């Protein structure tokens, strides 16, 4: 990590080691106030948030055992109070055919054909969602989005492709049902396989779909105690916001009211020269200190300028 011009540069400084540093910096103060605190303060550190969020799912069992009044996730929001984000599910579609020389069309089965059918289905679904919704105001794109992102298939122009893979994701607003979309996609793939069977496609030809990393949409409540505590502690914060990226909040909200708020901007995350502004870290310390006092009791602590 390097400090330069009031910024801390380094991988993860913004997303989200900055908030972890803030939480740990407050621990000595909280230990001194143990007698004054009316409720306990828990620090939870997860893993694999950038991949399959298995750490968040592990913590769910603890939340069921120990109910909390509120949860703050310190993802980089520029210290805005985020109360909602879309859900996310990654999908891998695979089609298998039979390789043959491209001049012998009837001797093989082109794996790209089923993939193009799936692409047509997905683009039609994307268009319908943009026109018919459901819609949720507050987002830059106020409806569920769908992105076919990667296609891999074929090895040469004179060989009928025997395999093709398509990666795509769906980001759903809370009002939309991700499970329904998944069920419909599974049904479409089943119809493709039925059609290939009816057409006497060669043995081993067919299509399959795999669903990965399903992250639930997050819909928090401005009336919750944790939101009100943060809003009172940080009166200059941007109002309740909705974002299109995902966090662990969708897992926690059903069990405890959750707000996403942390130092740094997502614009600086996941790229070279990632940084967090030192002033944002100082602000975050002051806001979290005051929010904890409002939620759990204790003393006000040092001023934000210390």
pLDDT in tens, 227-268: 999 999 998 887 679 998 999 999 999 999 999 999 999 888
pLDDT over 90 at 51, yes or no: no
**Residue 51 CB-half CA count within 13 A:** 5
Same CATH fold assignment for domains 2-84+217-289 and 87-215 = no
Instruction: Report pLDDT for 305.
Output: 33
Lowest-confidence pick of 98-112, 233-247, 289-303: 289-303
Name which of 66, 80, 40 is nearest 292 in CA terms: 40
Q: What percentage of the chain carries pLDDT values higher than 90?
A: 82
Instruction: Report pLDDT for 301.
Output: 59
Q: Indicate the pTM of the whole model.
A: 0.84
pLDDT digits (tens, 9 = 90+) for 129-177: 999 999 999 999 999 999 999 999 999 999 999 999 999 999 999 999 9
SS3 40: coil
Domain range annotation of the chain: 2-84+217-289, 87-215
Token pair, residue 64, equals: 């069921």
Mean pLDDT of the chain: 93
Q: Is 111 exposed, middle or buried (0-12, 13-18, 19+ CB in 10 A)?
A: buried
Task: Enter the CATH code of domain 2-84+217-289.
Answer: 3.40.630.10
Question: To which H or E segment does residue 171 belong?
Answer: strand 163-171
Q: Which CATH number fits domain 87-215: 1.20.120.530, 3.40.190.100, 3.30.70.360, 3.30.930.10?
A: 3.30.70.360
- How would residue 306 be classed by pLDDT, with cut points 50, 70 and 90? very low
Taken as a whole, the chain contains a residue count of 306
Instruction: Report pLDDT for 242.
Output: 93
Give the whole-angstrom CA distance, residue 249 versus residue 79.
16
Q: What is the mean pLDDT of residues 202-206?
A: 96
φ/ψ (deg, to 5) at 164? -150, 140
Give the whole-angstrom CA distance, residue 293 versus residue 277.
25
Alpha helices for the chain (secondary structure H):
18-32, 54-65, 111-132, 178-198, 225-233, 249-252, 278-296
Which position has the higher pLDDT, 294 or 214? 294
Lowest-confidence pick of 33-37, 148-152, 183-187, 255-259: 33-37
pLDDT over 80 at 116, yes or no: yes
- How would residue 303 be classed by pLDDT, with cut points 50, 70 and 90? very low
> Which distant-in-sequence residues (6+ apart) come within 8 Å of 16 by Cβ?
74, 75, 76, 262, 264
Contact by Cβ (8 Å): 32, 300: no
């Amino acid at each position: 990590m390097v400090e330069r011009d009031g910024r801390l540069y380094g991988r993860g400084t913004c997303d989200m080691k900055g908030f972890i540093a803030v939480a740990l910096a407050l621990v000595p103060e909280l230990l001194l106030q143990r007698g004054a605190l009316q409720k306990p303060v828990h620090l939870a550190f997860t893993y694999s948030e950038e991949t399959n969020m298995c750490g968040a799912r592990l913590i769910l069992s603890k939340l069921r055992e120990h109910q909390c009044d509120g949860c703050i996730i310190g993802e980089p929001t520029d210290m805005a109070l985020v109360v909602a984000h879309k859900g996310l599910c990654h999908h891998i579609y695979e089609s298998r055919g039979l390789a043959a020389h491209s001049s012998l069309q009837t001797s093989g089965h082109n794996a790209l054909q089923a993939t193009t059918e799936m692409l047509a289905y997905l683009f039609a679904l994307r268009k319908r969602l943009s026109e018919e919704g459901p819609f949720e105001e507050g987002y830059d794109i106020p409806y569920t989005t769908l992105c076919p992102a990667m296609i891999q298939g074929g090895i040469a122009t004179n060989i009928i492709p025997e395999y093709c893979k398509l990666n795509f994701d769906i980001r759903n607003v809370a009002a939309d049902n991700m499970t329904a979309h998944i069920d419909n996609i599974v049904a479409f793939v089943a119809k493709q396989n039925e059609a290939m069977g009816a057409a006497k496609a060669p043995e081993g030809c067919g299509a399959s779909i795999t669903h990965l990393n399903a992250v639930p949409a997050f819909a928090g409540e401005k009336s919750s105690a944790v939101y009100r505590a943060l809003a009172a502690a940080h009166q200059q914060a941007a109002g309740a916001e909705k974002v299109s990226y995902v966090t662990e909040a969708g897992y926690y909200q059903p069990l405890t009211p959750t707000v996403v708020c942390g130092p740094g901007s997502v614009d600086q995350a996941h790229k070279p020269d990632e940084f967090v502004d030192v002033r944002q870290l100082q602000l975050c310390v002051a806001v979290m200190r005051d929010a904890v006092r409002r939620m759990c009791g204790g003393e006000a602590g040092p001023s934000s300028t210390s």
